[in-house]
Chains A and B, each alone.
Chain A
């Protein structure tokens, strides 16, 4: 509302000053030749002062004086001929009405077309303080981080930020945050599971003893968790205990049924483990099961943080798509696998996960974001 008041006031003030000459009484303006004559007289004076200072010689001054005097005479002659003509108020009245009507309407129309009157200013400082302004992850993260720096004993903050770190692939930060939340708020299945995952992923897929303990505690607390079970099975593989690993995989299959996306992959792993057991290990399955699958680069993430939600959603979706394709080719990619499980959950696309056929992409929520096309414009330095 205040905005409209300001805009109206601005328009009114401008109109007032603009229209004042049109509304006023019609005075005649000084004739043009009067101005010219004034300039010539000035020039004559200048010549005299130059002469007095000795800047120019007498002869030069004289000829210059003559020249200017001639122009002055011509001007005077013209002035006598010219008649001061003043028109009736007709055109002025018409112009007054036209401007008074057209200017505000045109400005308003154009503004409504291009402007976003409903959008408030969002300076950064205010956004960081405002408790409920945004659901933007990056804003939340920054706000929570700032708060935790000041109040490191608030477990809720650590609890909130830990999964965000995990999905942002800041594994060390995630592990630290989970550890803090467990310390301050106590252990839950989810916290332990997250902690374990963070540790494993930080080590590039190696399930350390610490991680394994956490994961096992998580499963003990909540049997339905999938991620810790995968990792425990992998830990057993890493220990060379393939029989136990196969048991773990089988249990997983039973637990989650055959409809999950990664069922085929679990089957593959079982086959691998069985191969190991029977002593004819396929070379490809050796070693820690992290593949060469690269996640989004730091640049992608940085870009994602700056994207509008719609863009981010689109980016996440393409990445998930890519992951799924990659995983079909390379079932040994642990981080990718976990990410896929998580990603489908995040995207709420269980259906897609179940069917696995290229379903039509869910239509994106319409966005009000308008981006100028200037990013495509090459901008030179100068």
Chain B
């Protein structure tokens, strides 16, 4: 009954979404406030109904109701509760339900907190948002229905894949989806503005916080995925330029650009058309990310042929929304008024450069991701575009952006003074140079570009305090005055600076790991030892151990450094008898210098084991950097000026204005 209620709620949600898509649009066309007013309760009802469906599905998972086919396929009675819950979105059908749930959540938020939006804009936004929901709900109900039942029910489920039972993996899809779907807000606002042929003043104020929230979720989602790959897959790598990774990275790049151009639009009323276009591009990439990953088309075009119904549906949805939005853009964009003017050297100018480099870098990634698909579809020839391609294209495009990054916040709006900004950045430049020379002196080996990369990271990190110092006029005014100013600084300023510093931290992690990683692959018999990056690893031997649903061979390594004991690492190889699969558990020792990463390989005939040992210097800075970026975004978001929903006084003022009408 719970399952069936969920099923019906999902179908009813589709009906409500259709109402929400059509009635408000008719309302804005005829200027009938009664019709437009339907949008608000419809958006709320849609969210609650999809919520009921989601909870019903989750209940089926938690209670192991294998009469629900989706549960049977993807869950198992022996799964720990955590993974029963995460199993809900660990599969195609369930993840689509989560997707529309988040979509409806954003719609409900606009409906509930959007009192300060012009009614027509709100109605149009909700109608567009709902049209996306209609497409997805149709897709779910017709081709990927999670509430299909089995009668009689099988006794136990099938889904007990051990590799996937991992907290980081379990919770990164919701973050990714919140990111993808969050960009739908920007998209809906953009399309609503195009339908209207005008951009309201509230537009950018609304789009920016939502984009920021989506960007934060996507940042943390990507970082979690990369972290999982790092410690679970046993290769010591953190980013593979895999198509699946690129699919989430492209919306991130475009979203980062959108974040910055929305800033220009809000503050200066400029770059309107471009921001609208960027909002469409970002969400299109999100759609592509969701679909390409889910459909399996990225690994092979042939995957499409496996299930034509879904494939065609996916193509249709992408065609309608991406194609439709671009067509609408081409048709209506000329109607939109151009905004404020600015000199090339100005805050706006620097943000344009940011946008330009980010979108072009994103385009390069897009080409690298889609080219193999296109080639296979056209010529049938199979190629793989891997890390070398992206290193050659993406890196040269993004490095100028990073170099220019500290300048941006130091330039004034409209017309900036590059020379003055450069002078202020002197300290940062000197610090970067000093570190560069130091690195060169200490580390003779490694690629010659590496010290430059480290210098770049320091430059970015130092850019942040430089900006704050400039804002509080440090050393120009008395200390107490600076302190007073610092306390008065809006949190968004700190947030932005923090996020930029996070990029610097990440760059240092990336560069040092890539340049100075040491790797040894050795045959070790118990009793032997090897040394890497100053550590001595004594191989004590391998012992079998029995886990709850696997048996493993656990190796023991006693790690010493200069004779001092450091730690014991116990990498293992697990064999899961029932699932007939094996996993590698790496032994990782973390210190401030970096990660010691040991993987146990196969046993050879003479009793020795092949052992792979990495030392990844400062690798954790990559994820720490992402976390800093996340918190920077959060700090920005908590700024009063960015808070969703107008400040109280604005609302009352508006009510007053309305009363005057």
Query: Which chain A residues have a beta carbon within 8 Å of chain B's beta carbons?
Result: 2-3, 6-7, 10-11, 14, 17-18, 20-22, 24, 26-32, 34-43, 46, 53-55, 57, 60, 63-64, 67, 71, 75, 84-87, 89, 91-92, 95, 99, 102-103, 106-107, 110-111, 114-117, 119-125, 127, 134-136, 138-139, 142, 299, 302, 305-309, 368-382
Docked pose: A38 CA to B660 CA in angstroms: 13
Please determine whether A34 and B657 come into contact, CB atoms closer than 8 angstroms.
Answer: yes
Which residues of the partner chain A approach B259 to less than 8 Å between Cβ atoms?
none
Question: Which of B141, B225, B654 is the most central at the interface, judged by chain A CB atoms within 10 Å of its CB?
Answer: B654
Which residues of the partner chain B approach A18 to less than 8 Å between Cβ atoms?
16, 19, 38, 41-42, 45
Please determine whether B153 and A122 come into contact, CB atoms closer than 8 angstroms.
Answer: yes
Please determine whether B310 and A377 come into contact, CB atoms closer than 8 angstroms.
Answer: yes
Docked pose: A29 CA to B38 CA in angstroms: 13
Contacts A30-B119, A92-B32, A380-B244; A39 near B7 (Cβ below 8 A): no
Please determine whether B654 and A7 come into contact, CB atoms closer than 8 angstroms.
Answer: no
Please determine whether B5 and A22 come into contact, CB atoms closer than 8 angstroms.
Answer: no
Docked pose: A120 CA to B485 CA in angstroms: 65
Please determine whether B4 and A117 come into contact, CB atoms closer than 8 angstroms.
Answer: yes
Contacts A18-B19, A377-B92, A379-B92; A27 near B73 (Cβ below 8 A): no
Contacts A26-B34, A32-B118; A306 near B157 (Cβ below 8 A): yes
Please determine whether A372 and B156 come into contact, CB atoms closer than 8 angstroms.
Answer: no
| CB interface residues, B 509-524, toward A, < 8 Å | none
Can you name 13 A-B pairs with beta carbons within 8 Å?
A3-B1, A18-B42, A30-B657, A35-B201, A60-B414, A87-B30, A91-B35, A92-B35, A110-B141, A124-B63, A134-B152, A136-B155, A370-B69
Please determine whether A369 and B151 come into contact, CB atoms closer than 8 angstroms.
Answer: yes
The contact of A115 among B4, B66, B67, B77, by CB within 8 Å, is: B4
Measured between C-beta atoms, what is the minimum distance from B93 to chain A in Å? 6
| CB interface residues, B 643-661, toward A, < 8 Å | 646-647, 650, 653-654, 657-658, 660-661
Contacts A107-B11, A306-B156; A376 near B307 (Cβ below 8 A): yes
Which residues of the partner chain A approach B307 to less than 8 Å between Cβ atoms?
373, 376-377
Which residues of the partner chain B approach A135 to less than 8 Å between Cβ atoms?
152
Docked pose: A107 CA to B19 CA in angstroms: 12
Interface string of B578-616 (1 = CB under 8 A from A): 101000000000000000000000000000000000000
Question: Residue on B with the closest CB to A31?
Answer: B661
Docked pose: A63 CA to B341 CA in angstroms: 12
Docked pose: A142 CA to B77 CA in angstroms: 12
Please determine whether A46 and B641 come into contact, CB atoms closer than 8 angstroms.
Answer: yes
Measured between C-beta atoms, what is the minimum distance from B181 to chain A in Å? 15
Please determine whether A123 and B65 come into contact, CB atoms closer than 8 angstroms.
Answer: yes
Which residues of the partner chain B approach A381 to less than 8 Å between Cβ atoms?
164, 169, 244
Please determine whether A67 and B41 come into contact, CB atoms closer than 8 angstroms.
Answer: no
Which residues of the partner chain A approach B413 to less than 8 Å between Cβ atoms?
60, 64
Measured between C-beta atoms, what is the minimum distance from A209 to chain B in Å? 34
Docked pose: A107 CA to B72 CA in angstroms: 26
Please determine whether A124 and B11 come into contact, CB atoms closer than 8 angstroms.
Answer: no
| CB interface residues, B 243-258, toward A, < 8 Å | 244, 247-248
Contacts A18-B45, A30-B657, A91-B32; A124 near B200 (Cβ below 8 A): no
Please determine whether A124 and B64 come into contact, CB atoms closer than 8 angstroms.
Answer: yes
The contact of A119 among B4, B14, B33, by CB within 8 Å, is: B4
Please determine whether B92 and A374 come into contact, CB atoms closer than 8 angstroms.
Answer: yes
The contact of A29 among B15, B36, B153, B202, by CB within 8 Å, is: B36
The contact of A17 among B44, B63, B202, B299, by CB within 8 Å, is: B44
Main secondary structure of the interface of A (DSSP, over half): helix
Please determine whether B38 and A22 come into contact, CB atoms closer than 8 angstroms.
Answer: yes
Which residues of the partner chain B approach A127 to less than 8 Å between Cβ atoms?
153
Question: Residue on B with the closest CB to A13?
Answer: B45
Which residues of the partner chain B approach A139 to less than 8 Å between Cβ atoms?
155
Main secondary structure of the interface of B (DSSP, over half): helix
Please determine whether A84 and B661 come into contact, CB atoms closer than 8 angstroms.
Answer: yes
Question: Residue on A with the closest CB to B2?
Answer: A121
Which residues of the partner chain A approach B500 to less than 8 Å between Cβ atoms?
none
Q: Give chain B's interface residue range (CB within 8 Å of chain A).
A: 35 or more
Question: Which of A14, A106, A135 is the most central at the interface, judged by chain B CB atoms within 10 Å of its CB?
Answer: A14
Beyond the given A55-B490, A119-B149, A382-B248, could you list 20 further A-B residue pairs with CB under 8 A, ordered by the A residue number?
A: A7-B8, A18-B16, A18-B41, A18-B42, A21-B38, A34-B657, A39-B116, A54-B485, A55-B488, A63-B414, A102-B15, A115-B4, A121-B3, A136-B154, A139-B155, A369-B150, A371-B148, A378-B296, A379-B296, A382-B293
Docked pose: A376 CA to B144 CA in angstroms: 12
Contacts A21-B34, A35-B202, A55-B471; A11 near B12 (Cβ below 8 A): yes
Docked pose: A306 CA to B176 CA in angstroms: 33
Docked pose: A373 CA to B144 CA in angstroms: 8
The contact of B23 among A95, A125, A136, by CB within 8 Å, is: A95
B369 on interface, CB distance cutoff 8 Å = no
Which residues of the partner chain B approach A32 to less than 8 Å between Cβ atoms?
118-121, 200
| CB interface residues, B 46-66, toward A, < 8 Å | 49, 52, 60, 63-66
Docked pose: A111 CA to B117 CA in angstroms: 36
Please determine whether A123 and B1 come into contact, CB atoms closer than 8 angstroms.
Answer: no
Measured between C-beta atoms, what is the minimum distance from B76 to chain A in Å? 10
Question: Residue on A with the closest CB to B22?
Answer: A95
Docked pose: A85 CA to B31 CA in angstroms: 7
Please determine whether A36 and B200 come into contact, CB atoms closer than 8 angstroms.
Answer: yes
B327 on interface, CB distance cutoff 8 Å = no
B574 on interface, CB distance cutoff 8 Å = no
Docked pose: A111 CA to B65 CA in angstroms: 20
Which residues of the partner chain A approach B52 to less than 8 Å between Cβ atoms?
10
Docked pose: A110 CA to B142 CA in angstroms: 10
Which residues of the partner chain A approach B69 to less than 8 Å between Cβ atoms?
370-372
Docked pose: A285 CA to B38 CA in angstroms: 84
Question: Residue on A with the closest CB to B655?
Answer: A30
Please determine whether B72 and A306 come into contact, CB atoms closer than 8 angstroms.
Answer: yes
Please determine whether B65 and A122 come into contact, CB atoms closer than 8 angstroms.
Answer: yes
Measured between C-beta atoms, what is the minimum distance from A175 to chain B in Å? 23
Measured between C-beta atoms, what is the minimum distance from B449 to chain A in Å? 31
Docked pose: A308 CA to B73 CA in angstroms: 13
Contacts A32-B118, A381-B169, A382-B248; A38 near B653 (Cβ below 8 A): yes
B340 on interface, CB distance cutoff 8 Å = yes
Q: Which 3 A-B pairs have the closest CB atoms?
A: A123-B63, A30-B658, A378-B296
Please determine whether B658 and A34 come into contact, CB atoms closer than 8 angstroms.
Answer: yes
Docked pose: A60 CA to B415 CA in angstroms: 10
Please determine whether A379 and B578 come into contact, CB atoms closer than 8 angstroms.
Answer: no
Docked pose: A158 CA to B298 CA in angstroms: 53
Question: Residue on A with the closest CB to B578?
Answer: A302
B130 on interface, CB distance cutoff 8 Å = no
Please determine whether B148 and A370 come into contact, CB atoms closer than 8 angstroms.
Answer: yes
Docked pose: A32 CA to B31 CA in angstroms: 11
Which residues of the partner chain A approach B343 to less than 8 Å between Cβ atoms?
none
Which residues of the partner chain B approach A11 to less than 8 Å between Cβ atoms?
12
Question: Which of A24, A27, A110, A374 is the most central at the interface, judged by chain B CB atoms within 10 Å of its CB?
Answer: A374
Which residues of the partner chain A approach B299 to less than 8 Å between Cβ atoms?
378, 380
Measured between C-beta atoms, what is the minimum distance from B232 to chain A in Å? 11
Which residues of the partner chain A approach B1 to less than 8 Å between Cβ atoms?
2-3, 6, 120-121
Question: Residue on A with the closest CB to B173?
Answer: A382
Measured between C-beta atoms, what is the minimum distance from B574 to chain A in Å? 18
